[in-house]
Amino acid sequence: MINRFIYKKNCYMKSVLSSLLHRTATGGSVTVLAAAFFLGGCTPNNNTGGLGPLPKASFTVTPLSGVANTFVATAGTQGIFGWYWSPTSGSPTKAGGAIDTLYYPSHGNYRITLIAVGHGGYDTATQIVQVTSDDLSGNVIKGGQLTADSAAAWTILNTGGTQTTIAFTSSGVNFSNGSGSGTNGAIYQAVNVEAGTYKFSANVQGTGITNSWLEFYIGAAVPKQGSDYSDNKVYSLNFWAGCGLSAFNGDIVSIGCSGSGPASGAITFAQAGTVYVVIKGGSAGGSLGSGGVTITDIKMKKQ
């Protein structure tokens, strides 16, 4: 949509538009906001002779060679003095230049919006960029996709008693059991960390659990076959704590409801050494839901 506005020569339009376009996607109309900001800061001038041509927003998006999940967005420049980029749907629009670099750590389709400002008004353009895979560079967890070809990086742990069914599939690792079950089981791997802070995340998806748990541990204790694991639970879905009861699909850091891990996902290690990343799931007379719970895209990256 293109909007033309008239302004006095002494109006500082770039400042007004910068304030306008640093917005969040709360359903507000750019046109209405533009009018509100403009009328509050400038006096209309009926002389249209000084107006330039209407700008035309356009841009190209190309992968940045040699850098994972990073793209270069290049906008047109003719008759334009301001470029305002929103790299994803719902993200704030921020002032930038005609060339902007965009990074997407996870796979998916992302909607990029550009607002181009010229002396005759402003125009918007949008494009969808497709990111085909997650950026696993810097991830200290091996086999982070948790798909069938990641299975070699993990060890299945028998925690004692009836084992939860654990299967590495093309969609991720799946924990499942029958209704009314009493099961438990886990997978784990040793991870070498440095002193400092790491950002942790993992995607979990399921139809809802009853009398069950799905837990993530980052502990110093070495897992032992035939023994339960309980060293430093950081995040979990837990029926009794009130999460995972209905269908879910998201980052365990955001949708979990028990564990010592902070809401930011930032895990700090006081010293370098070996820790054990353990994913454990089971039920006490319940079920992990129809189809079980699938985990994928587990990451722990140094900040």
Query: How many C-beta atoms surround the C-beta of residue 131 within 10 A?
Result: 20
> Are 40 and 93 part of one and the same domain?
yes
> Are 153 and 111 part of one and the same domain?
no
Q: List, for residues 216-231, the tens digit of each pLDDT value.
A: 999 999 999 999 999 9
> Are 153 and 74 part of one and the same domain?
no
Q: What is the dihedral of CA 18, 22, 28, 31, to 10 degrees?
A: 20
Write out the residue range of the structural domain in which residue 124 sits. 13-131
> What is the per-residue pLDDT for 196?
95
> Where does the chain show beta strands of DSSP type E?
59-63, 70-75, 80-86, 94-96, 99-103, 108-118, 121-131, 155-157, 165-169, 172-176, 181-193, 196-206, 210-219, 233-238, 248-251, 266-269, 273-287, 293-302
Residue 91 or 188, more confident: 188
> Are 83 and 153 part of one and the same domain?
no
Q: Is residue 4 part of a domain?
A: no
Q: Which two tokens stand for residue 169?
A: 């599939």
Q: Is residue 70 part of a domain?
A: yes
> Are 60 and 168 part of one and the same domain?
no
Q: How far is CA 49 from CA 13, 79, 120, 122, 134, in A?
A: 17, 16, 11, 18, 52
> What is the per-residue pLDDT for 43?
41
Q: pLDDT grade, residue 5 (50/70/90)?
A: very low
Q: Is residue 142 part of a domain?
A: no
Q: Which two tokens stand for residue 96?
A: 């930038």
Q: Is residue 179 part of a domain?
A: yes
Q: pLDDT grade, residue 248 (50/70/90)?
A: very high
Last residue of one domain, picked from the residues 131, 166, 181: 131
Q: Which two tokens stand for residue 117?
A: 């400002």
- Which residues lie closer than 8 Å to 32 by C-beta, 6 or more apart? none
Q: List, for residues 17-43, the tens digit of each pLDDT value.
A: 444 444 333 333 343 334 333 333 444
> Are 101 and 18 part of one and the same domain?
yes
The yes-or-no verdict on residue 181 having pLDDT over 60 is: yes
Q: pLDDT grade, residue 50 (50/70/90)?
A: low
Q: Is residue 30 part of a domain?
A: yes
> Are 286 and 245 part of one and the same domain?
yes
The overall average pLDDT reported for the chain is: 85
Q: Which two tokens stand for residue 224?
A: 């032992």
Average pLDDT over residues 249-266: 96
Q: pTM of the entire structure?
A: 0.62
**How many structural domains does the chain have?**
2
Q: Is residue 143 part of a domain?
A: no
> What is the per-residue pLDDT for 7?
37
> Are 237 and 100 part of one and the same domain?
no
